[in-house]
Amino acid sequence: MQSTQSLNSQSLNSNDVVGPGKYFYMLLGRLQMDLEYYFGNGHQNAKHLYYDTIEEHMAETKALLASFPKPYKPDWFSEKDIAKYEALLAS
């Protein structure tokens, strides 16, 4: 069994997570795909979002991403991606 020390020093991704944590990755993926659709073919219609408004959706996406400990942060979605969506929202 690996110690927490050696586990934290390794690069981890969502495939390494089992149990309830796995579902947070799945939810984050869903929220990301909603944003892609919203700003793409969804024509910025909030009915395509998991949350009721784009503001709530963005806030919850940021909060969920921030909740991941550093070694478990996904490499496929980051704060830079959220900033890209915020810029699209502001334009």
Domain-located, residue 28: yes
Distance CA 68, CA 65 (A): 6
Domain-located, residue 61: yes
What count of Cα atoms within 13 Å lies in the side-chain half-sphere of residue 45? 5
Domain-located, residue 6: no
The number of distinct structural domains making up the chain is 1
Q: List the domain range (segments joined by +) for residue 48.
A: 16-90
What tokens does 37 get?
Answer: 């659709």
Domain-located, residue 9: no
Domain-located, residue 40: yes
- Predicted local distance difference test score (pLDDT) of residue 80: 96
- Predicted local distance difference test score (pLDDT) of residue 9: 39
pTM assigned to the model? 0.77
Distance CA 69, CA 50 (A): 24
Domain-located, residue 5: no
What tokens does 13 get?
Answer: 């991704």
Domain-located, residue 2: no
Domain-located, residue 66: yes
Place of tokens 């909060």: 63
Count CB neighbours of 58 within 10 A: 19
**pLDDT in 10s for each residue of the chain, 91 residues:** 333 333 343 455 556 555 557 899 999 999 999 999 999 999 999 999 999 999 999 999 999 999 998 888 999 999 999 999 999 999 8
